[in-house]
């Protein structure tokens, strides 16, 4: 496993003239436009990177982009790997581990999610403060990769409190209306039933989606501070549940995207 990760990292270093990113960014469904704000130095197709899984979802384009955002060196995953696509958990988090080997200091993650909190509206941003893993597995099952992190990583603060506080300050300063809350990861690919939404709300979640949690677990394992934000694309609250198609999700994500981009860019500018 370490060898496959190192091979991928070595190929990337060669192809990018040893470009050394300080921050990693994962862009979620319908949230790819942040890359337009990047002063791109290099762009690699996932398909060309040794051992990289290849994206199958049409709304994800599958590129690793290297460049500057807000004057800081970043690597951006345009498109991610979901458990529901049939990847193993190790494949889902492979790029996160490679980004760590490339030297990133912090990870910034975005996703599209259904809103469970009764006060949420579509296109709201929710800064994630904690999560509940409802996927049937996680990326740390199996032999521990001691070179990456400990057998029993602590999960008392998977989302950096410091980054959450900074995000809230930035939001206040820019007049962004931002929520905070708990994200639950469901396996998908079908959306949840009304009874499942009720269950997920009852156990303490404010939003539900199909990604992020495996990536965050892998990051925490490697002692990588994480910031994550959900874009609420549909409401999963009794009385507000409607039939949802991917187009609705993409539309709501597109509406929130400028705010999400602003938040992540300003946050990255502020990092030491
Ligand atoms: N569940 C419900 N609504 C959603 C999801 C989900 O996983 N992702 C985006 N909107």
Separation between Cα atoms, residue 73 and residue 203, nearest integer Å: 39
- Residue of minimum CA distance from atom 6 in ligand 1: 209
Average model confidence (pLDDT) across the chain: 94
pLDDT tens track for 234-256: 999 999 998 988 888 888 889 99
- Residue of minimum CA distance from atom 7 in ligand 1: 209
Centre of ligand 1 from the C-alpha of residue 218, in Å: 22
Centre of ligand 1 from the C-alpha of residue 113, in Å: 5
Q: Are 163 and 264 in contact (CB under 8 A)?
A: no
Separation between Cα atoms, residue 77 and residue 52, nearest integer Å: 12
- Residue of minimum CA distance from atom 2 in ligand 1: 114
Q: Are 67 and 16 in contact (CB under 8 A)?
A: no
Separation between Cα atoms, residue 72 and residue 56, nearest integer Å: 30
- Does the beta carbon of 192 sit less than 6 angstroms from any atom of ligand 1? yes
Closest to 46 (Cα-Cα) out of 69, 65, 22 = 65
What pLDDT score was predicted for residue 57? Answer: 56
pLDDT tens track for 136-160: 999 999 999 999 999 999 999 999 9
Separation between Cα atoms, residue 38 and residue 66, nearest integer Å: 8
Centre of ligand 1 from the C-alpha of residue 138, in Å: 19
What pLDDT score was predicted for residue 12? Answer: 97
Q: What percent of the chain has pLDDT over 70?
A: 97
Band of residue 114 on the pLDDT scale cut at 50, 70, 90: very high
Separation between Cα atoms, residue 181 and residue 159, nearest integer Å: 11
- Does the beta carbon of 90 sit less than 6 angstroms from any atom of ligand 1? no
- Residue of minimum CA distance from atom 3 in ligand 1: 114
- Does the beta carbon of 104 sit less than 6 angstroms from any atom of ligand 1? no
Helix (H) or strand (E) holding 221: helix 213-221
- Kindly report the CATH number assigned to the domain that includes residue 78: 3.40.50.1580
- Does the beta carbon of 236 sit less than 6 angstroms from any atom of ligand 1? yes
> Structural domain of residue 15, as residue ranges?
2-269
pLDDT tens track for 53-109: 876 655 456 899 999 999 999 999 988 999 999 999 999 999 999 999 999 999 999
What pLDDT score was predicted for residue 55? Answer: 61
Residue 115 CA: nearest ligand 1 atom is 3
Separation between Cα atoms, residue 130 and residue 42, nearest integer Å: 33
Centre of ligand 1 from the C-alpha of residue 101, in Å: 31
- Does the beta carbon of 209 sit less than 6 angstroms from any atom of ligand 1? yes
For the segment 117-134, the average pLDDT, to the nearest whole number, is: 97
Q: What percent of the chain has pLDDT over 90?
A: 84
Structural domain count of the chain = 1
């Amino acid at each position: 496993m370490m060898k496959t990760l190192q091979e991928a990292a070595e190929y990337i270093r060669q192809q990018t003239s040893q470009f050394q990113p300080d921050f990693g960014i994962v862009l979620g469904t319908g949230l790819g436009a942040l890359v337009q704000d990047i002063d791109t130095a290099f762009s690699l197709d996932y398909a060309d990177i040794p051992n990289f899984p290849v994206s199958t979802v049409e709304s994800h384009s599958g590129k690793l982009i290297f460049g500057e955002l807000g004057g800081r060196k970043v690597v951006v995953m345009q498109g991610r790997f979901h458990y529901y696509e049939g990847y193993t958990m190790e494949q889902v988090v492979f790029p996160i581990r490679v980004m760590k080997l490339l030297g990133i200091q912090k990870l910034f993650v975005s996703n599209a999610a259904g809103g469970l909190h009764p006060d949420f509206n579509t296109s709201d941003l929710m800064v994630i403060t904690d999560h509940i893993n409802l996927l049937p597995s996680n990326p740390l099952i199996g032999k521990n990769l001691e070179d990456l992190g400990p057998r029993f990583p602590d999960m008392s603060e998977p989302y950096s409190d410091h980054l959450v506080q900074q995000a809230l300050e930035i939001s206040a300063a820019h007049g962004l209306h931002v929520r905070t809350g708990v994200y639950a990861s469901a396996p998908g690919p079908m959306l949840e039933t009304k009874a499942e939404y009720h269950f997920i709300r009852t156990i303490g979640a404010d939003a539900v989606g199909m990604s992020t949690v495996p990536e965050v677990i892998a990051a925490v394992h490697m002692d990588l501070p994480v910031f994550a934000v959900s874009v609420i694309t549909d409401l999963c609250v009794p009385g507000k549940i409607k039939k949802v198609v991917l187009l609705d999700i993409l539309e709501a994500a597109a509406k929130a995207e400028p705010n999400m981009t602003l938040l992540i860019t300003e946050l990255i500018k502020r990092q030491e």
